[in-house]
Amino acid sequence: MTEYNLDLHTHLLKRRQSPKKYWQCVKTNDIQGTAITEYNYLKPQKAYFSLLAVKPKDKILIPGIKLMTDSGEVLVYASNEDVYSYSLLYEENVSLKRIYDFCEKKGYLMSIAHPFGLISNSASYIMGLSKLEKLIESKEIGVEAYTGQIGYLSYYMYDSFFLRKVRDLLDFFELNDFFKFVGLSSISEYFTHKLDQKSYDIVYKFSAAIKLGEKASYITAGSGSYTAESIGSGLLRLDIPKSVIDEPDRTKQNQEILDKIQHKKIIAVGPPGKYTENIFSRSSARKTKQKAYGDLIYLTKRSVFGSVKPKEK
C-alpha cells in the first residue's frame, strides 16, 4: 500500500483554465488524482472530457458535478462519464431529497459541499444545523470535511504579518490619549471587534465542518479551486494499492477509490503538509500564505456583494 493525495473539489471552466496547466499544477503539487466537479450550469461534461483528453497516464480523474439544491450546494461523484447524461443533475435549485434518492439508486456518492461556507450556498445556513445533522445521521450522505478555501484561512490568519500590524495599529489608536480625545478610539475599537469576529468566524467554519464530518457516513475534501494554481489546497489522503493506480480500466479504478471513500477508509483530510504518525505539520511556504490572503479577499467580497451566477456562454 502507498499513500496518495486526492483533490476532490476542482473547477476548470469557472475561470476558463487551461487543461494542460491544470495537470501541470496537479503534478507540481504532488497530487495523484482529482475529481472535476464543475458547476452543472457550466457544461461539466465539457470540463471532464477536456481534462481527460490531456490527462497524464499515471493520474486519476474522477467524474463529478457540483449543483445547487434547495438546501445548499452538493458534490456528486461517479465512476464514469454516464453521470453527465441525466437531466436531473442540471435542474436549478433541485430538491436535495431527489438528488439523494437518485444517487442512492445509481450508486453515486453525494457530499455536502463546504457545509459552513457562504450563507448563500451552504447547507448549515440554508437548512439549519440541527436539521442538517439529523439528515446526515439518518442517510448515507458525505460531508466535505475540509475545503481549501476555508481551511487555509483558519490555519494562517493568526500568523499573518499584515494582520498583526493592523491589530497593533488599531490598539495604538484605541489606547492613545489624543485619539481618545478626538473620538477616533471608538472607531478603532469597532474595527478591532470586526477583525476578531471575522477571525473567529473563519476558525469556527473550519472546525465545525470537521465535527460534522465525524457524524457523516463518509467524508470528502478538496480545494474548491477556481484556478489551477490553487489545486491541492485541500486534500484527502488515501492508502491505495499500486494495482489500483495501474488499473487500465478507468471505471474500475474510480469505483475502487470511491468505495474506499464511502467506507471511510482514509488517512487524513486537510491542507498540503506532512503527516508523520498521524501528526500534521503545516506548510510555512510564502505561496501558501498568499493563497490564504487571496481567499480572505474573495470571501469578504462574496459576503458583501453576494453571489451572482454568470450567464452560460
Least Cα distance to 95 among 126, 125, 60, 57 occurs for 126
Task: Residue count of the chain, please give it.
Answer: 313
Per-residue confidence (pLDDT) for residue 268, from 0 to 100? 85
Residue 105, pLDDT > 90, answer: yes
Question: Highest-confidence range of 42-56, 160-174, 202-216, by mean pLDDT?
Answer: 42-56
Widest CA span in the chain: 74
* The pLDDT of residue 119: 85
**Which residues partner with 275 through β-bridges?**
280
Which pLDDT band holds residue 293 (cuts at 50, 70, 90)? low
The per-residue pLDDT for 102 is 98
Residue 72's nearest CA partner among 50, 97, 36, 49 is 97
Mean pLDDT of 189-199: 57
270 versus 245: which is more confidently predicted?
A: 245
> How much of the chain, in percent, has pLDDT values that exceed 70?
69
**Average pLDDT of span 263-290:** 64
pTM of the model: 0.80
107 CB-near residues (< 8 Å, 6+ apart): 79
Instruction: Answer whether residue 313 shows pLDDT above 50.
Output: no
Thinking of the domain 2-154+204-283+290-305, which architecture would CATH place it in? Alpha-Beta Barrel (3.20)
Lowest mean per-residue pLDDT among 77-91, 138-152, 216-230: 138-152
pLDDT tens for 125-143 read 999 999 999 999 999 999 9
| Residues 28-51, mean pLDDT to the nearest whole number | 97
- From CA 56, how far away is CA 295, in angstroms rounded? 29
Quick one: CA dihedral 217, 207, 144, 252, positive or negative? negative
